[in-house]
Amino acid sequence: MSIEELESVAQAMVAPGKGIIAIDESTATIKKRFDSVNVPNTEENRRAYREMLLTAPKLGEHISGAILYDETIRQATKAGVPFTKIMMDAGILPGIKVDIGAKPLAGFPGELVTEGLDGLRERLAEYAKLGAKFAKWRAVITIGEDTPSGTCIEANSHALARYAALCQEAGIVPMVEPEVLMDGDHDIDVCYEVTEATLRSLFGALYEQNVLLEGTILKASMVVSGKDCADQADVETVAEATVRCLKSAVPATLPGIVFLSGGQSDEQATAHLNAMNQMGPHPWPLSFSYGRAMQTAALQLWAKDMQANFKAAQDMVVLRAKQNGLAALGQWKKVA
């Protein structure tokens, strides 16, 4: 993939009114989701669930891409059509999660660093042949009494930058995700400071590794109060703080930013995104890359009767996609 093609794919990922659906849960993570709705965690159930999501009629009107897991990118519909073909035919770009998870950072108790660089060049080459157009790597930054340390932020930024460089070498657009977790009782000001420091470190590392920013997408966490904080910031405060933080740390040459929902409720994630876009215009499109905030309602419905509720569950995920697509334009209205 040429530089122009990388730029074209990145721009398509943040097309107006469209965002990314994240269905890249590992086998262990999807088990937690399935356990919550009493669905056995079998390969066939995982395949059937993802078929329900990816074949939803008109999903491509609001979804530009989907992040898949290693198992999913190799799967097909019950009729034998590869998921990647179904997606491309619907105008949905196939993406792939390539990190192998956050592990304890040696020497720094309570902090994490994401692993997966070993063998990544070869894995990316295979994913490109399987149809992947973009990839995702998630770093985890935890706020605590003495965390995050500068070492933790630097280690994760370096890994994200090395991953991004390898992606572009393979002709795949990298989505870099430095998630500042909501866990904790910190206030929104502390979240702002940590998020700003993390983003500045990340873009410094991307520059050092010669990563083409025009062919890169940032998946960002919003600047919010810790979930155990007594003083929860309102929608307008979150939107203002998040936009201000991004403008202070993210270069304008980036094609776009998509947000993770990060444990927010479905409505919160949509409301925050909508409020940010109503404050625009911004240097870059602000859209979404939601997992649970896109899937939860559909999963609960599908789990009650996988056959009878198949279509209704699809309608639910398309509705969530439409609502977030409107929020990406600043046009979402809360339904009383």
Read off the amino acid at residue 262: G
Say if 335 falls within a structural domain.
Answer: no
Both tokens assigned to 63? 């979804």
219, 227, 240, 267: which is the annotated catalytic residue?
219
Q: Which of 51, 177, 179, 196 is catalytic?
A: 177
pLDDT at 265: 87
Q: From start to end of the chain, where are the E strands?
A: 19-22, 63-68, 93-97, 102-104, 112-114, 134-141, 173-180, 217-220, 257-259, 286-290
Model pLDDT, residue 336: 59
151-165 as b/e: b if 16+ CB within 10 A: ebbbbbbbbbbbbbb
The pLDDT of residue 246 is 98
Those residues with Cβ within 8 angstroms of residue 105's Cβ, 6 or more apart along the chain or in another chain: 111, 112, 113, 151, 152, 155
pTM: 0.95
pLDDT in tens, 262-317: 888 889 999 999 999 999 899 999 999 999 889 999 999 999 999 999 999 999 99
pLDDT tens digits for range 103-116: 999 999 999 999 99
* pLDDT, tens digit (0-9, with 9 covering 90-100), for 148-174: 999 999 999 999 999 999 999 999 999
129 is known as an active-site residue? no
- Residue 297, domain member (yes or no): yes
How many CA atoms within 13 Å lie on the side-chain side of 68?
A: 31
Tell me, what's the pLDDT at 334? Answer: 81
* Phi, psi at 114, each rounded to 5°: -85, 135
Q: Does residue 111 carry a catalytic annotation?
A: no
- Tell me the CATH number at 188: 3.20.20.70
78 belongs to a structural domain: yes
Instruction: Say if residue 178's pLDDT is above 80.
Output: yes
Residue 31 CA to residue 295 CA, distance in Å, equals 14
What are 148's two structure tokens? 């995050």
Flag whether 217 is in a domain: yes
Asked, for residue 184, whether it belongs to a domain, the answer is yes
Residue 266: per-residue pLDDT? 86
Q: Is residue 332 part of a domain?
A: no
Q: How many domains does the chain have?
A: 1
Looking at residue 292, its pLDDT comes to: 86
Instruction: Answer for the pair 287, 19: CB distance below 8 angstroms, yes or no.
Output: yes
Asked if 301 and 312 count as a contact pair (C-beta separation under 8 A), the reply is yes
Q: How far apart are CA 115 and CA 266, in angstroms?
A: 29
Task: Answer yes or no: is pLDDT of 1 > 80.
Answer: no
333 in a domain, yes or no? no
Span 8-32, average pLDDT: 96
Q: What is the pLDDT of residue 272?
A: 97
Domain range holding 252? 3-327
How large is the average pLDDT for residues 308-331? 96
Q: Report yes or no on 334 lying in a domain.
A: no
